[in-house]
A and B are shown apart, each in its own frame.
Chain A
């Protein structure tokens, strides 16, 4: 077995070692301009090695599984320049049972995938003949194996199935982009929700509303929440950022940083969600934890190295790609539902906007929690009614201000992508600037 061989070789010249082996196979079906454009299968396999040699961490990775000696030598060559090793590889082999594999995903045929995508496009275009559709239906399976010199060992397989639909409507120089999707460890066969969401976006955006500027109430739909909040919050809760003193939340654990109705969890134990798993990418067993518990900053996210540096234990949040060393990251984020319906939120707004999709939200001072973005898809609300699409409009603000000025939290959460579940959030007073 490759992992064992690498480990053995590594231990010839290092005191400790960890082998991360990933093999994956993905089959996307890509639809462009309302029809199937291409299908392909992509297979990749690779090994990453971390060694602790003379108290320092060496790292190397490769997709060339024929020359493992080179991998080991590369890790050894880099080790003298590496970080001082504060971590200890986990030795346990007990993991919570978290199901993330459904063999039906592999059995789902290419013909069925094509049919799924084509039907979805045709269903949208049946009532919207001027919308041009792109879509993506993909299935994939990956197997991860982790082995280390302390006796730690874990291996699991994950299946992922995703369906995504995008529509483009061009009228003169006006461009409207709508879209939605679903991702799961099970095959996604019921696309009704995707269709409904995209049709609703088309209906609401049909007319362009007059511009509005000012400090206004803003309703962030689940997509809007993802666009605005997640980047800054994850940067602030990242254990490494905290250690560097660059997080605005340094020293604030246990303090109120948001409205007391607001809770944010990282829960990689939810079954059949693509971001879940029984172990993190260092083999530490996963668990559910609150980042923000009823408004109070509860936990930062750590991997082994940053936890040791911070004098605490890993929260099971090590995240890595093949070619990078692990670093703290969220797995599956969940914002607790509140008790106000989206419809009631809209009715409550005298003059304000709804934010669905943003352009450029992650480009500002993310660490400080600032966001500054163009509202790519958003609607104007006047006297409690949606009055058309806003254009040439920017929203600017700070996520901590938004979370401390919440008017209401939606009562219906939904999944976005493979790892974020949230309701809508209704905030008072966000800065909106529009071109006159």
Chain B
């Protein structure tokens, strides 16, 4: 393992202009045993692999970095042939030193599958966690079933029963079997994520989303694998229809405060007259959940998963999750720059 990582370090440092680099690799094997007085007993084992590569370039007191985060539920091959990606990170860090900042304001944005995955996790996933709404009458009303959230092309699902991903398991940490829960179907709210407690309080069924990051923490409602389902558009079409906008890819971070969410892209480009144009400094995108999903006007067919992240909530961080999407387009998204 160390030998492979040393190779990546060496590769990144061969790019002229790269000052230093950081690689974080981790793997873990965890066995969870659950028993309850109701007679449930489960034993589950999970393996996780995570890797982050980041290169830093500096010139005249200016510093930029570029990185990528990957993960898998035990597949080591995601780590083994990243030499060209490592070189790309190095080159991008150097290119960013010369890239202009985006002019802050509202833009049409096209998000790549990885960034769109982070978007749906922050913008909608957390609001679907029933423990944010089950005690608050106003929020319960805002999140009533059948409420319109977006166009008919929008379908969002979360579930640990989707196999082979970092958020996959058979039973949650309360012994409830995992499910695949539709949150939005054809633009309407049709479901939410529950623990036994929130389900009981709201008169709905548990969905197997109660997770604890370790044995010293209580299980709380968490996401698992969160996905925007593929649509009929194409990536080329989404870009081609856009006169002026921002194409953003490769997540760097994301946060939510329910009504507002932010997520930041590691890579961004201007879109001009239907074509991808100049490289920009990393951008932050933010918005109001309720209007942004309404403004999501295009979903391509190329679903891909982001497995390189961990979710933080209630002091339990980083919890393994995955999120994914095809390329999507959002109108009138607020983009931060200068």
Contact = CB atoms under 8 A, between A and B. Distances in A.
Interface stretch (B69-77, B83-91, B227-235, B256-264): B256-264
Interface stretch (A243-251, A339-347, A381-389, A409-417): A243-251
Interface stretch (B39-47, B168-176, B179-187, B284-292): B284-292
B337 A359 contact: no
Contacts of A174: 259
B138 interface: yes
Given A170-B142, A372-B337, A396-B104, A245 B20 contact: yes
A433 B333 CA distance: 12
Contact of B259 (A38, A173, A244, A246): A173
Contact of B56 (A246, A396, A431): A246
A359 B63 contact: no
B264 A363 contact: yes
A42 interface: yes
Point out which of A38, A168, A360 has the most chain B C-beta atoms below 10 A from its C-beta: A360
A225 interface: no
A364 B261 CA distance: 15
Contacts of B261: 359
Interface stretch (B247-255, B269-277, B301-309): B247-255
B218 interface: yes
B177 interface: no
B138 A246 contact: no
B322 interface: no
B106 A372 contact: no
Given A132-B135, A245-B20, A359 B290 contact: no
A435 interface: yes
A246 B20 contact: yes
A297 to B, nearest CB: 12
Interface residues of A, number: 46
Contacts of A364: 252, 264, 282, 284
- Counting chain B residues whose Cβ lies within 8 A of the other chain, the interface size class is 35 or more
Interface in A26-78: 32-33, 38, 40, 42, 44
Contacts of B281: 365
B81 interface: no
Given A359-B256, A359-B261, 10 more contacts: A174-B259, A245-B20, A252-B61, A359-B260, A376-B257, A392-B334, A394-B286, A394-B336, A431-B338, A436-B106
A202 to B, nearest CB: 15
B105 interface: yes
Contacts of B138: 132, 170-171
A376 B142 CA distance: 20
Nearest to B288: A392
Contact of A248 (B62, B252, B258): B62
B286 A367 contact: no
A171 B58 CA distance: 47
Contact of B63 (A40, A175, A368, A436): A368
A394 B334 CA distance: 8
A363 B283 CA distance: 9
Contacts of A434: 334
B58 A173 contact: no
Nearest to B315: A28
B290 A367 contact: no
B73 to A, nearest CB: 22
Nearest to B140: A170
A240 to B, nearest CB: 10
Contacts of A171: 138
B183 to A, nearest CB: 18
B36 interface: no
Nearest to A435: B334
B80 interface: no
